[in-house]
Structure 1
Amino acid sequence: MRDLLFLPHRIPYPPNKGDKIRAYHVLRYLQRHFRVHLGTFIDCAEDLRYAEHLAAGCASSYFVRTHPRWARLSSLRGLVTDEPLSLPYFRSARLQRWVNRTLDTHAIGAALAFSGPMAQYLPSATEHGPLMRVMDLVDVDSEKWQAYADARAWPLSMLYRREGAQLLEYERLVAEGFDQVMLVSRAEASLFRLRAPGSGHKIDYFNNGVDSEYFSPRHRLASPYAKAPVVALTGAMDYAPNIEAAIWFAERVMPSLRLQFPELQFQIVGSRPAYSVLALKRLPGVFVSGTVADIRPYLRHATVIVAPLHIGRGVQNKVLEAMAMQKTVVATPQALDGIGAVVGTEVLRAADAGEFVHHVARELAAPSELGVAARRRILRDYRWDANLQRLGALLGVQEDDRDERADPAPQADAADPRARPGRENGRAARDAGGVPEQAL
């Protein structure tokens, strides 16, 4: 098998949030066709236990433990070095040395960087011999920061606008220097071609997918709710767009819905809820779950799933998962951007509070069959194996050329695929500054 270097910006397990879901499935696919050398960051102490199990399926691996608070402070160096703050945030001299050593000691013909800041670890082809460099930007992050700027007051608006402008310049440089740039959807690829017209011929995409066997309405799952009806919002609740969405729906939509349906519950389901999200529990009918072991019962037994995001890029996995569970989804245009679902027959679109009230109330009063059509769309267009073949073709993969003996990334556990502990079979190291790292 050929050797490939994979550099995601966060450990691709457990697959419990957008970027990690995509990176996890990419890693599993790559491990079936390549000897994978994995270098990445761990920014959550709970994820340390997965490192050694991931390492068991790789030819080599290196995990750098980071702390978000210190990383944010380090990112401020970008104000001095005139670069995007995201670059120093994800900069590690030790990871760079491991990358250089890996390129020097292994016959690596291709490297895949996942998320823009990881491009800084891949030298030009002349430094280590011929190397095909592929970047999975996933989203056009510069657009997200500009949206943040538009939604915030000074001085954050100024800082976010600077980051958006700096990132766009950096994204263009990455597109110029890399052999190929991939994004998460046709819409995102089209946008980036407009932003980087000189590299348009190198910009493509592959869609996200959903494990439609796991996210299936056929599973018998006990209801986690005390009573119905329930409107649910899922997602990582320490992520700014999800925080804003939860607050907006609780304050702007729920009061009107409760006038019509006094027993209605709004369930906010997601990990690490911010204080501002927890504070919503003071409102009538609003509940905050915090981290849950299995998201499926919360989807399965909700009457309606909402995705009221006003800032977002790429593809919202929360929407795909709800569609796979055969649920009616009411979402903003931003949450549906990049998802090839037919509005009105597979999903419902709501641009403001009034439209959310209208669509949700109608579904509560007379449930439709949109969920059935939504799942059909998932089965047709959002299967990981099929969608990843687009990336595989770029990397020269022959689909009948796969190693069935390979020990891949940990499979989704039947009971709880998002919290499976790793095997204890590696060695740990610490750097001189006391920041724990895993070098396997």
Structure 2
Amino acid sequence: MRILFLSPRQCWPPHGGAKIREYHFLRTLAALGEVTYTYFADRGSAPLSRDDLPFVAEIVAVPKPKAYEIGQLVRGIAGRWPLSVLNYSSPEMKACVERLTHAGPFDVTHVDSIHLLRYANHNCKRVVYNWHNIESEAMRRYGESVRSPARRWYSSITAAKLHALERDILGEAFGHVVCSERERCVLHKIAPNARIAVIENGVDCAYFSEPDGSTPLDSLVFIARLENVANALAASTFARTIWPRIRERMPRLRLMLVGAEPLPAVQQLASLPGVEVTGTVADVRPYYRRAVAAVVPLLSGSGTRLKILEAMAARVPVISTAVGAEGLDAISGKHLLIAEPEDPEAWTRHITAIAANESRDRICEAALEFVKARYDWDMLERKLKTTYENWFREKT
């Protein structure tokens, strides 16, 4: 079986939620057939090689096009395609896909983002989309979470364009893979006959569950891609409105904002008392080992958060908004704690109780057993392999 795998990013090294999910999908598909991995490479970065991804048959890198150009912004408002799709406009990628498909037909085209729909090989009978989230939902929620009227308006029209594209894709493609049962229900309301499988986001439990009882617990951590606007907004809101109250109760505690390429608004938070912004780190585990708790103060988004699963596997209690924990079958009060941005006192109450170990051990043990049973990548890779084997066995 020949498989064309299209990606908007390079998945190695697999740091960050989307890269981690993509890496495990790529590895699983490579066990099913001969995979040609075609991806957009950051300009100036070294291309991936078979040393990085030894399980794929071929690796093809295409320079990532410039994004957010004035012309793209205008077309994103006036035209059919939303800006998030126009950002991936690339004659090089179009030519690359044409060259690859003319060299020999692919049995399956795997598209790792709906933003690449214009490169999907629709001459191939089986086009499968991996939905890291529901893009229209994430955009709509972002618009609802910001105060700027211009951003709210722009988010609204972009969400509508994305929804229209999602409806078309659901009707045209062979299959779809989503992160949660909730998302499958949402998409089935749009397209009742669509073939949709749930493959949850996962975590390498063995990698994270290395206890280190000698390390002092002296911080809160928010680990996320801090160039992402939803994560940046969450970090800013927490640091400016919730953190000061927590610090009043626990003046020795630090807030660690850990993640690659933080936006300027996040970098500025380092000037606040007790706040540190790390930027890119090679290994997040040392930050978990020092954490009283992991906070996930998201106000918007879609999909499911690998950062929650990682913290649970690392035996770190999680305090999240309801949106942040959405899509996971975790129970508040048992596997994690829920608090909302408009209630700083709830965050403070939860964190002081955990710091006093009133509930820490109980929550950590329950959460660890939860992720081992439901979200370990070894189990999810087997589930994905079975799903694809059943799909690819079908006649079209």
State TM-score, norm by structure 1.
Answer: 0.82
In structure 2, how many angstroms separate the alpha carbons of the residues matched to 1:52 and 1:149? 41
Does residue 133 in structure 1 map to residue 127 in structure 2? yes
Letter in 1 for 2:210: P
Does residue 185 in structure 1 map to residue 180 in structure 2? yes
Check whether the contact 1:110–1:395 (CA below 8 A) recurs between aligned residues. no
2:98 matched residue in structure 1: 100
Does residue 325 in structure 1 map to residue 336 in structure 2? no
Q: How far did residue 184 of structure 1 move?
A: 1.0
| SS of structure 2 residue aligned to 1:323 | helix
Letter in 2 for 1:386: M
2:231 matched residue in structure 1: 242
Q: How far did residue 86 of structure 1 move?
A: 2.0
CA 1:22–1:68 in structure 2 vs 1: closer, same or farther (change >3 Å)?
A: farther
Q: How far did residue 119 of structure 1 move?
A: 2.1
In structure 1, how many angstroms separate the alpha carbons of the residues matched to 2:59 and 2:192? 32
Query: Could you report, residue by residue, the CA deviation over 1:346-395 in whole angstroms, capped at 9, with x for unpaired residues?
Result: 11111232211111111112352211111111110012232233432343
Does residue 149 in structure 1 map to residue 147 in structure 2? no
Does residue 388 in structure 1 map to residue 381 in structure 2? yes
Q: How far did residue 204 of structure 1 move?
A: 2.5
2:34 matched residue in structure 1: 35
Q: How far did residue 44 of structure 1 move?
A: 5.7
Check whether the contact 1:238–1:274 (CA below 8 A) recurs between aligned residues. yes
Q: How far did residue 289 of structure 1 move?
A: 1.5
Q: How far did residue 171 of structure 1 move?
A: 0.3
Q: How far did residue 72 of structure 1 move?
A: 7.5
Q: How far did residue 256 of structure 1 move?
A: 1.5
1:3 matched residue in structure 2: 2
What does 1:106-255 correspond to in 2, within 5 Å? 106-125=104-123, 131-152=125-146, 153-194=148-189, 196=190, 198-218=191-211, 228-255=217-244
Q: How far did residue 76 of structure 1 move?
A: 4.2
In structure 1, how many angstroms separate the alpha carbons of the residues matched to 2:159 and 2:68? 22
In structure 1, how many angstroms separate the alpha carbons of the residues matched to 2:294 and 2:104? 48
What does 1:405-420 correspond to in 2, within 5 Å? none
2:394 matched residue in structure 1: none
Query: Could you report, residue by residue, the CA deviation over 1:146-171 in whole angstroms, capped at 9, with x for unpaired residues?
Result: 11222232222211111100000000
CA 1:53–1:45 in structure 2 vs 1: closer, same or farther (change >3 Å)?
A: farther
Does residue 305 in structure 1 map to residue 294 in structure 2? yes
Check whether the contact 1:71–1:90 (CA below 8 A) recurs between aligned residues. no
In structure 2, how many angstroms separate the alpha carbons of the residues matched to 1:264 and 1:325? 20
Check whether the contact 2:28–2:384 (CA below 8 A) recurs between aligned residues. no
Aligned length: 386
In structure 2, how many angstroms separate the alpha carbons of the residues matched to 1:185 and 1:391? 13
Q: How far did residue 259 of structure 1 move?
A: 1.9
Query: Could you report, residue by residue, the CA deviation over 1:4-58 in whole angstroms, capped at 9, with x for unpaired residues?
Result: 1111221112211111111011111111221101111123644x35356446543
In structure 1, how many angstroms separate the alpha carbons of the residues matched to 2:265 and 2:132? 28
In structure 1, how many angstroms separate the alpha carbons of the residues matched to 2:96 and 2:309? 36
In structure 2, how many angstroms separate the alpha carbons of the residues matched to 1:68 and 1:212? 37
In structure 1, how many angstroms separate the alpha carbons of the residues matched to 2:84 and 2:327? 24
Does residue 286 in structure 1 map to residue 286 in structure 2? no
Query: Could you report, residue by residue, the CA deviation over 1:94-132 in whole angstroms, capped at 9, with x for unpaired residues?
Result: 22222223223234211111111222212433xxxx521
Q: Could you tell me which of 362, 368, 371 is aligned with 2:364?
A: 371
2:61 matched residue in structure 1: 63
Unmatched runs of 5 consecutive residues or more in structure 2: 392-396
Letter in 1 for 2:178: L
Does residue 86 in structure 1 map to residue 79 in structure 2? no
Does residue 271 in structure 1 map to residue 260 in structure 2? yes
CA 1:65–1:253 in structure 2 vs 1: closer, same or farther (change >3 Å)?
A: same
Q: Say which structure, 1 or 2, has more relative contact order (CA 8 Å, 6+ apart).
A: 1
In structure 2, how many angstroms separate the alpha carbons of the residues matched to 1:342 and 1:5? 39
Does residue 356 in structure 1 map to residue 347 in structure 2? yes
CA 1:266–1:158 in structure 2 vs 1: closer, same or farther (change >3 Å)?
A: same
CA 1:318–1:55 in structure 2 vs 1: closer, same or farther (change >3 Å)?
A: closer
Letter in 2 for 1:87: V
CA 1:51–1:242 in structure 2 vs 1: closer, same or farther (change >3 Å)?
A: farther
Segments of 4+ in structure 1 off by > 6 A? none
Q: CA RMSD for the aligned pairs?
A: 2.3
2:327 matched residue in structure 1: 338
Q: How far did residue 271 of structure 1 move?
A: 1.4
In structure 2, how many angstroms separate the alpha carbons of the residues matched to 1:288 and 1:8? 29
CA 1:69–1:112 in structure 2 vs 1: closer, same or farther (change >3 Å)?
A: closer
Check whether the contact 1:176–1:199 (CA below 8 A) recurs between aligned residues. no
Query: Could you report, residue by residue, the CA deviation over 1:220-243 in whole angstroms, capped at 9, with x for unpaired residues?
Result: 5995xxx75311111111111211
CA 1:167–1:333 in structure 2 vs 1: closer, same or farther (change >3 Å)?
A: same
In structure 2, how many angstroms separate the alpha carbons of the residues matched to 1:161 and 1:81? 15
| SS of structure 1 residue aligned to 2:201 | coil
Letter in 2 for 1:101: R
Letter in 1 for 2:110: L
